[in-house]
Amino acid sequence: MDWDEVRIFLAFAREGSFSAAAKRLGIQHSTVSRRIQALEKKLATPLLERSASGYELTRAGEELRISAYRIEQELLSFEAASAGQSNEAVGELRVTAIANMASTILMPIFARFSAANPNIDLRIEVTNDSVRLAEREADVALRQTNAPGETLIGTRLTTVASAVYGSVGYCKAYKSGQFDEKWIGVDCCDYHRTWTKQACPTNEHAFCVDETSLTVAALKEGLGVGYLPCFLGDAEPTLARAREPEQQHDLGLWLLYHRDLRNVKRVTLFREHMQREIKQLVDIFEGKQEAIR
Amino acid sequence: MDWDEVRIFLAFAREGSFSAAAKRLGIQHSTVSRRIQALEKKLATPLLERSASGYELTRAGEELRISAYRIEQELLSFEAASAGQSNEAVGELRVTAIANMASTILMPIFARFSAANPNIDLRIEVTNDSVRLAEREADVALRQTNAPGETLIGTRLTTVASAVYGSVGYCKAYKSGQFDEKWIGVDCCDYHRTWTKQACPTNEHAFCVDETSLTVAALKEGLGVGYLPCFLGDAEPTLARAREPEQQHDLGLWLLYHRDLRNVKRVTLFREHMQREIKQLVDIFEGKQEAIR
DNA sequence: CCGACACTGTGCAAATATGCAAAACGGTTT
DNA sequence: AAACCGTTTTGCATATTTGCACAGTGTCGG
């Protein structure tokens, strides 16, 4: 029995299709298909069967999935332990961050880390949906939240304040009482969706976006007002605050990683780097206007 | 990371050399060497280092060995469970038996099982040293013992009686008091060695053998007397009992297998077959002379 | 001290697995 | 019903891995 086929099967069981599994594994779907076939043949047991929508695991397949998961955990924790021992700042470090942050304020920080640690190849990946660090989809996750997962450990880097923004022109006209505020419908994350709903209970939006960068662009066009993290809104000279930030909209910026990685050099280095750098930007994140002017 | 490399590493860690690992895995030693090299490269951690005699595992290697062992257990128990579910009498059944039995009295029984179950490919392997059923070196073991391992389960098929044999001519001459009995030195198993020592405390042997079939041949030549299982000694017309079997020399014949395999069809079938067949041969095994005459 | 032996590393040819592209299939939409 | 999308399967050329043979090295025993 080829143990590597179990790894491939696990990817398939997670993703639900050969194609998706292949994509994650970075191999061809035909290979996934063939190797799972080979596995079934060797075990003399079908592991999956066609169903109405996609595939469904058989009982044996389900059990193998569980076993494979345990094996994965076993190997991941071994890898983490062995990396912790060698204690060298080498290897790959996969960081997942939120799009709007990674492409703006964080990028120079990443760049400096990379320059300071040339032997660590840093891979930044943008993922807005929650990433499964237990399965090591990434080594480190940067997340905005007030309730970080329990099984993960990490640091609260800073507080991210948000406020209501509009274009400079829009805000001026609005404040002089020319018309009611129009809210842009946002669907980029749970927080912004909820806050918008609270601020604009009628839920009437003439314009909707599902991505923070689109919110910025829409606001610039004078289409209305909407929530933005201050570090984004304040950085745009054509935008102005329609309301000042409120504490209830504060979010923690967390740097999270799996317990097993807590002693791995490249992770601790990255954590310390982020803490140092973010500390200098705390005013920007917390929306202290003085920091801008 | 290729999980299959962990499997190969485990074999290496067990056997202590590339060659031996390759032999057990049924692949080339160069492959073992290359894949372990590849594994070390991927982990960026040395797993083994040269030492005075052979290789020695590094700390990381030792940990990987432990992880790999757990993984193996995980997969073996999955395989057993999945085979148990399908409940079909198909697949490979690896039986390990003692040489002198397998080649004589048991062979017709194996043959009948094979004929009755054409979809099970039966592999008989002769191993005198204790086999590790936990690592599934075999599915079923046939062993002579009075203390079967605790972690294994199985059935006591019958009692194997042993007696002292010599050639017909030798026994006749000896019984008529022409000379003292000469003991052949045997080293085929702990039991025979111990018994021989007890019977012949001087430990003076003009002729020594280390295999039961050699004992038979030596006895036939009239070289002396020695212990044989009755089913072997009685089957040889040119041999006669120098002494009758004693109860203290009785051994249990056990059919042993791993707990996980207790519900696997091909194993239960084999067990039942063996029980049925051996029951008919109980007189031969217990050395009841009437059975022969 | 030398030869026999067993083990590991390397070059090359053969076997095997992979990627790629096209075809087949199922489900959904127009 | 037809066209489309995403997915899986299949055939084929290529890339990789494996086995094999040989060379190099260390150990053991005479």
Q: How far is B277 from chain A (nearest CA, A)?
A: 29
State the pLDDT at residue A293: 47
pLDDT per residue as tens digits for the range B70-122: 999 999 999 888 877 766 777 788 999 988 888 889 999 999 999 999 888 89
**How far, in Å, CA of B68 to CA of B64, rounded?**
6
pLDDT per residue as tens digits for the range B61-70: 899 999 999 9
A residues 49-88 closer than 8 Å to B (CB): 59-60, 63-64, 67, 70-71, 74-75, 77-79, 81-83, 85-86, 88
In terms of Cβ atoms closer than 10 Å to its own Cβ (0-12, 13-18, 19+), residue A41 is: exposed
Identify which of B3, B59, B82 has the shortest CB distance to residue A43: B82
Q: Tell me how crowded residue B190 is: count the other CB atoms within 10 A of its CB.
A: 9
pLDDT at B129 over 70: no
**How far, in Å, CA of B189 to CA of B126, rounded?**
14
**How far, in Å, CA of B53 to CA of B3, rounded?**
28
**How far, in Å, CA of A40 to CA of A95, rounded?**
36
Helix (H) or strand (E) holding A120: strand A120-126
CATH superfamily of domain region A162-249: Periplasmic binding protein-like II (3.40.190.10)
Residue of A nearest to B78 (CA): A64
| End-to-end Cα separation, chain A, in angstroms | 66
Identify which of A63, A81, A82 has the shortest CB distance to residue B82: A63
Mean pLDDT of B13-17: 86
A residues 100-119 closer than 8 Å to B (CB): none
In terms of Cβ atoms closer than 10 Å to its own Cβ (0-12, 13-18, 19+), residue B33 is: middle
Query: B99 CA to C22 C1', in Å?
Result: 57
Query: B17 CA to C2 C1', in Å?
Result: 27
Tell me the pairing of strands B208-209 and B185-186. parallel
Nearest 5°: the CA angle A93, A94, A96 is 140
State the pLDDT at residue A262: 87
Chain A window 33-92, residues with Cβ within 7 A of nucleic strand C: 34-35, 52-53
Per-residue pLDDT tens digits of chain A, which is 293 residues long: 899 999 999 999 988 888 888 988 889 899 999 999 899 888 888 888 766 566 788 888 899 999 999 999 999 999 888 877 767 777 788 999 988 888 889 999 999 999 999 888 898 888 766 677 878 888 999 988 888 776 788 899 999 999 999 999 888 887 787 777 788 888 777 788 888 888 877 777 778 887 888 889 989 988 889 999 999 999 999 999 998 999 999 999 999 998 888 888 889 999 999 999 999 999 999 988 655 54
What Cα–Cα distance (Å) separates residue B276 from each residue in B28, B119, B123?
A: 42, 20, 20
What Cα–Cα distance (Å) separates residue A276 from each residue in A47, B177, B221, B276?
A: 50, 100, 90, 77
Contacts of B82 in chain A (CB under 8 A): 43, 45, 60, 63-64
Contacts of A71 in chain B (CB under 8 A): 3, 71, 74-75
Q: Which of A258, A14, A28 is nearest to A6 (CA)?
A: A14
Any idea where the domains of chain B sit in the sequence?
Answer: 3-84, 87-160+251-292, 162-249
Contacts of A81 in chain B (CB under 8 A): 63
More confident residue, B58 or A52: B58
Identify which of B75, B88, B90 has the shortest CB distance to residue A1: B75
Task: Give me the CATH topology for the region B87-160+251-292.
Answer: D-Maltodextrin-Binding Protein; domain 2 (3.40.190)
Mean pLDDT of B167-190: 81
State the pLDDT at residue B72: 94
Counting one residue from chain A and one from chain B, the pairs whose CB atoms sit within 8 A come to 82
Query: A52 CA to D12 C1', in Å?
Result: 32
pLDDT per residue as tens digits for the range B197-235: 888 777 777 787 877 888 898 899 888 899 999 999 999
Measured to protein CB atoms, the chain D nucleotides within 7 Å are: 6-11, 17-21, 27-28
CB contact under 8 A, A85 and B43: no
Q: Residue A46, CB, less than 7 Å from strand D?
A: no
Q: How far is B152 from chain A (nearest CA, A)?
A: 23
Match domain A87-160+251-291 to its CATH number in 3.40.190.10, 3.30.950.10, 3.30.70.1880, 2.60.120.260. Answer: 3.40.190.10
Q: How far is A121 from chain B (nearest CA, A)?
A: 14
Mean pLDDT of B245-255: 92
Q: Which amino acid makes up residue B224?
A: G
**C21 closest protein residue (CA to C1'):** A30
Contacts of A88 in chain B (CB under 8 A): 44
Q: Which of B186, B283, B281 is nearest to B228 (CA)?
A: B186
Nucleotide nearest to A35 (CA to C1'): C17
Torsion sign, CA atoms A73, A76, A79, A81: negative
CATH architecture for residues B3-84: Orthogonal Bundle (1.10)
Domains B3-84 and B162-249 fall in the same CATH topology: no
